[in-house]
Homo-oligomer: A and B are copies of this chain.
Amino acid sequence: MDLTAPEWHRPTLEDVAQRAGVSRATASRVVSGSHPVSERRRSAVLRAVADLQYVPNQAGRSLVSRRTGSYALVLPEGMGQVFSEGFFPTLIRGATAELEESDEQLVILLAGSAAGRRRIEQFVRGGHVDGVVLASVHDRDPLPGLLAGTGVPVVCCERAYGDVQLPCVGVDNAGGAAAAVRYLKRIGRTRIATVAGPSSTPAGQDRLGAYLRETVRGHRRPLVAEADFTVEGGRAATARLLAEEPRIDGLFAASDLMAVGALEALRRAGRRVPEDVAVVGFDDVDCARTAEPALTTVHQPIEQLGRQLVRLVQRLAAGEEAGPALVLPTALVLRDSA
């Protein structure tokens, strides 16, 4: 069989059936495994499939089954750099692993420009996927609204904003952040500042909220600088913090990347970590381990998050209820920076 010959055409179910000497219906039944078929015909069909390298045409199949066997994961293009350090790759790994169990395919879409988001909407409406996972949603993100009316199930990380109420899977941001700040207090730190994440994101909001509660509870003055989850942002925010209050002895950064930036700013300012300033991060991605000193940080079960998001959207696609919102636990991991 010359696959490069111009007149060659992909084998269809009809070809398989003919070669196996059965009806198209029977061939379909063994290929999809949907109905029992006599052993003789079954093996004949299987042999034909192998001989022909037959793979069902998805267009034909999904036209009638109304299923595609693939799910979309939508990543925000803008924040690519922010989360590149471990978060997205790990989330993708989890989602892929979960989908693998039902032999389904993960398709990643980047939401960039407004035009790009429209195209994603069309893509979803066009029936390319059975469900959508939004990896990151912020304040005024138009995507949940655009996708809400498509009839295709959509879920998201953390929590959706505005009027569109999407089913979500989150992590315990508040609990993790509170644990971090409490730990800093417990080891005797009294002037604890925070480098907060963007207030437009759930993670930014919730981690800051917990810091504030813990600080106020201890009758201490909150020291906050907001940054954008990046190394560079963390560095600049920490410099501002040091200018405002040079006697800082504890620092909670709302992401590991920002904590790495903080480490650099502190080094430049001549502060030793953890002796002068104890630093705690959030995420527990790779750079936490390789930082110098290695970061004490709040571990987030990112792979689990990916898995649970997929399970949720699969459940929805199967017509089941979303059930109560799921919040995954976080945990403080002690290393050298605090």
Contact = CB atoms under 8 A, between A and B. Distances in A.
A55 B110 contact: no
Nearest to A1: B149
A31 to B, nearest CB: 12
B149 A53 contact: yes
A127 B96 CA distance: 20
B81 A110 contact: no
A92 B113 CA distance: 13
Determine the interface band of chain A, counting residues with CB < 8 A from chain B: 35 or more
A119 B127 CA distance: 20
A128 interface: yes
A55 B125 contact: yes
A8 B96 contact: no
What is the oligomeric copy number? 2
Contacts of A81: 86, 89, 286
Q: Which of A59, A105, A116, A119 has the most CB of B within 10 A?
A: A59
A96 B125 contact: no
Contacts of A151: 3, 8, 10
A62 interface: yes
Contacts of A77: 89, 92-93
A70 interface: yes
A55 B122 contact: yes
18 contacts: A10-B125, A53-B149, A55-B122, A57-B63, A57-B126, A58-B128, A59-B63, A77-B89, A77-B92, A81-B286, A84-B89, A92-B110, A100-B116, A105-B109, A105-B119, A108-B109, A108-B110, A128-B128
